[in-house]
Amino acid sequence: MLKRNQNMAKLQSGYLFPEINRRKREFLQKNPNAKLISLGIGDTTEPITRHIAKALYDAAKGLGTERGYMGYGDEQGMAALREKIASVMYGGKVAAEEVFVSDGAKPDIGRLQLLFGNDAVVAVQDPAYPVYIDSTVMYGKTGKYNNAAKQFENIVYMPCTPENNFFPDLKKMPRADVIFFCSPNNPTGAVATREQLQQLVNYARKNKSIIIFDAAYSQYISDKNIPKSIYEIEGAEETAIEINSFSKSIGFTGVRLGWSVVPNELKFDDGSLVRNDWNRISTTLFNGASSIAQCGGLAALDGEGLQEMKKLVLFYMENARIIKAALQDIGYEAYGGDNAPYIWAKAKGNGSWDAFEYLLERANIVTTPGVGFGQCGEGFLRFSAFGHRKNIKEAVKRLKKL
Amino acid sequence: MLKRNQNMAKLQSGYLFPEINRRKREFLQKNPNAKLISLGIGDTTEPITRHIAKALYDAAKGLGTERGYMGYGDEQGMAALREKIASVMYGGKVAAEEVFVSDGAKPDIGRLQLLFGNDAVVAVQDPAYPVYIDSTVMYGKTGKYNNAAKQFENIVYMPCTPENNFFPDLKKMPRADVIFFCSPNNPTGAVATREQLQQLVNYARKNKSIIIFDAAYSQYISDKNIPKSIYEIEGAEETAIEINSFSKSIGFTGVRLGWSVVPNELKFDDGSLVRNDWNRISTTLFNGASSIAQCGGLAALDGEGLQEMKKLVLFYMENARIIKAALQDIGYEAYGGDNAPYIWAKAKGNGSWDAFEYLLERANIVTTPGVGFGQCGEGFLRFSAFGHRKNIKEAVKRLKKL
């Protein structure tokens, strides 16, 4: 038969979360009465708020009427939504035509890989959201997996650890063409300061690199001095693409809605606009986010929607505070959780998977093993702040009993 | 700055429909009072039917409640929907785990390209849905565009014209690794018979090729002898992937819902399952179709939904009948329209774009120039049967006046 795409064969085991689910299922088979609490996957748990939910069901209802029916929309998103994202989320620093509405950051990352030739060198934070690396491998931009180093060849890993305050040492970093950078960070919960982001932008300008700035958790930034967008940094429009999402800010993980920004100032070496190629990719390989979801996104960005968004984020951030305090109480080194819905905690003594199994068996709590996000995550666990309050309280009670 | 993906530079002008829209806008600027009727893009126009719309509405409303809230689902789709597609659409010939729910056929085509290495040779019908070729070019599976031939190097074009009854001469066809095949066909409206599909499957088995069978219009097949799925053909499970969509059958063009089938019998040369790689691609680069849309899909496949689907399809097929009869009345050679919502008509005398301009200016009717689908489409126009009945009748009146 036909030859397999050899890049697929380079990938390591499954994607992290299927593996966690497998272990969870195995545990439940042995312990059918265990009441698991998940602080694992970063999935929102609270109902969609009133005003935004109403926009969704009004749109759905409208589809059943001649007046409210919507067929294909522009692949790049409804004009009104693109304008609203530009004005509300970027205060007009970005033009509507630079905004591309999508079905989320993950699929956008997959498509963004097509912007760059397969000889492009990609840099990622270590630890990082696995999709950056896996998509890079699938497209053939890496060498083989090095079993000793447990890293792929031809990827630049940027260690982000407590030792460097979770910001890479750019002076020591080898040149990369494309830099995935996530702040507030998944999984560490760290945020980059204005000065750090300026360093990053300066590095990219000097090295003619493109930053793909993943701001999916930007709404969780409570510190007023921390930039919510890379475009708050001088020169970023010449060097950065931003991706973002409605998933975590308004609970749209299942509804599917996100966006990317590709500024007109961002150009390839031949002077052509990156935005033009992104437009071609978006219109050719994507058919727009669901019209219902887009109507929800519109509602989220009006006065009432923004208030609901804020309230929902505060709810999850209170969860984060509770979890972080409990972890510190029982002697874990805990990071993040102040401007991000994740707490990054150093497991005592053992490696990540041992710590994962320990909490699963002893407290029936599901976490995410830090090593699943990269070698620099070894020894850590990620705790997600998404959960019903009563579950968070119960989890904390169990943690304190350990 | 960073180097452009050189494959993007190979692409020719814009995607077809943006170009049509540009010409339409230009015409309307000169003729602001013209009442255009679009028989161009294949976009559904009728409201979503009662039962299915209610399912969308109920799902959206449920998201605002603790009980009805849904976060991330499986990337491959809700288990219930996968099972229902397997049983209802394939009569159990396909297993639920072989079905992958998606946000539509177009994005699926983009992701499917990753299954095959970039040295794979791709074959397409000529004329064909432009996304097959454009996605192949973007991924780097082709050579340059040959300006004289107006074709890409390293693509196998399979002419489908009235002369060969719109089915390629497989005996003359050079070997290809991947064969995109669409039946009922967009744009020609032709359907392949059981015997023809058996020839195609035999060809693929002999040549170790994989067929990507695009069945997005399968619900429009009225002739009981014509297969609605490639899996009705002996041996197809060893050689074919099928993609399909809820867009045209229940008016979900804006809601976004489709699926692919990758049988467990389909293997690469190393014996590994194509399905496993597809699963990895789907879980890594996609995050599931909107949960609201999936609830609509579930409703579409129960008794009431299927009846509504049938009625909606019959409505559009009556449009097709009206348009085809009118075109034949005024002396166009017209094909398709019997088992597909497209009529493929030979424009008198001139090339496709001239014929397009002629109908735009003289009858204020927007069509799709056949040449936009490939060189074998030159001289043809595609008429879409999607439209309100009153517009179809008005279009026909105008055609008869020409």
Write out pLDDT tens, residues B342-387: 999 998 778 999 999 999 999 999 999 999 999 999 999 999 999 9
Residue A68 contacts by C-beta under 8 Å, 6 or more apart in sequence? A59, A61, A62, B47
CA gap B71, A256 in Å, rounded: 10
Q: Which residues of A311-350 are buried (b: 16+ CB within 10 A; e: fewer)?
A: ebbeebbebbebbbebbeeeebebbbbbbbbbbbbbbeee
Residue A7 contacts by C-beta under 8 Å, 6 or more apart in sequence? A137, A138, A139, A140, A142, B117
Helices A291-300 and A303-329 pack at an angle, to 10 degrees, of 80
A291 touches chain B (CB under 8 A): yes
* For chain A, the helix, strand and coil percentages under 3-state DSSP, each to the nearest 5: 45, 15, 40
Task: Indicate whether A307 pLDDT > 90.
Answer: yes
Searching chain A, which residue's CA lies closest to the CA of residue B72? A254
| pLDDT at res. B41 | 85
Please state whether beta strands B258-261 and B99-102 pair in parallel, antiparallel, or not at all (unpaired).
antiparallel
Q: Could A11 and B60 be called an inter-chain contact, meaning their C-beta atoms sit closer than 8 Å?
A: no
Residue B115 contacts by C-beta under 8 Å, 6 or more apart in sequence? A5, A8, B274, B277, B278, B281
pLDDT in tens, A223-279: 999 999 999 999 999 999 999 999 999 999 999 999 999 999 999 999 999 999 999
A59 touches chain B (CB under 8 A): yes
Helix (H, G, I), strand (E, B) or coil at A145: strand
Task: Indicate whether A15 pLDDT > 70.
Answer: no
Return the bridge partners of B258, or none: B102, B245
CA gap A20, A25 in Å, rounded: 9
A345: nearest Cα among A381, A319, A315, A317: A381
AA identity, residue A337: G
Which CA distances in Å does A311 have to A245, A249, A299, A323? Answer: 17, 10, 15, 19
AA identity, residue A31: N
Task: Indicate whether A121 pLDDT > 80.
Answer: yes
CA gap B123, A228 in Å, rounded: 46
Which CA distances in Å does B264 have to A261, B182, B276? Answer: 39, 22, 9
Number of Cβ atoms within 10 Å of the Cβ of B148:
5
Residue of B22, B51, B285 best to disrupt the A interface, most CBs of A under 10 A = B285
Q: A108, exposed or middle or buried, with CB in 10 Å at 0-12, 13-18, 19+?
A: buried
CA gap B340, B313 in Å, rounded: 10
Residue A279 contacts by C-beta under 8 Å, 6 or more apart in sequence? A76, A100
CA gap B186, B342 in Å, rounded: 7
Nearest neighbour of A2 by CB, restricted to B73, B104, B268: B268
Find the mean pLDDT for residues A62-66: 98
Find the mean pLDDT for residues A70-81: 96
| pLDDT at res. B233 | 98
Helix or strand run (H / E) with residue A261: strand A258-261
Searching chain A, which residue's CA lies closest to the CA of residue B70? A254
| pLDDT at res. B15 | 65
Return the bridge partners of B181, or none: B213
Residue B164 contacts by C-beta under 8 Å, 6 or more apart in sequence? none
Q: A13, exposed or middle or buried, with CB in 10 Å at 0-12, 13-18, 19+?
A: exposed
Helices A274-285 and B130-138 pack at an angle, to 10 degrees, of 140
A333: nearest Cα among A129, A161, A160: A161
Q: What DSSP string runs through A121-134?
A: -EEEEES--HHHHH
Please state whether beta strands A240-245 and A210-214 pair in parallel, antiparallel, or not at all (unpaired).
parallel
AA identity, residue B365: I
Which CA distances in Å does B277 have to A4, A138, B138, B286? Answer: 9, 10, 20, 13
8 Å CB contact between B103 and B290: yes
Residue of B275, B284, B294 best to disrupt the A interface, most CBs of A under 10 A = B284
8 Å CB contact between B248 and B216: yes
A72 touches chain B (CB under 8 A): yes
**Residues of chain B with C-beta less than 8 angstroms from the C-beta of A208:** 1-2
| pLDDT at res. B339 | 98
| pLDDT at res. A59 | 98
Find tokens 């992701």 and name the residue. Answer: B111
B208: nearest Cα among B81, B305, B120, B311: B120
Average pLDDT, chain A: 96
Q: CA of B331 to nearest chain A CA: how many angstroms apart?
A: 32
Searching chain A, which residue's CA lies closest to the CA of residue B130? A284
| pLDDT at res. B21 | 87
B366: nearest Cα among B8, B23, B32, B30: B23
8 Å CB contact between A315 and A75: no
Return the bridge partners of B365, or none: B37
How many A/B residue pairs have CB atoms within 8 Å? 274
Query: How far does chain A reach from its first CA to its final CA, in angstroms?
Result: 55
What is chain B's length? 402
Task: Indicate whether A54 pLDDT > 90.
Answer: yes
In chain B, which residues have pLDDT < 50?
none
pTM for the whole structure: 0.97
| pLDDT at res. B14 | 63
Q: CA of A37 to nearest chain B CA: how many angstroms apart?
A: 16
Number of Cβ atoms within 10 Å of the Cβ of A266:
22
What is chain A's length? 402
Q: How confident is the model at residue A34 (pLDDT cuts 50, 70, 90)?
A: very high
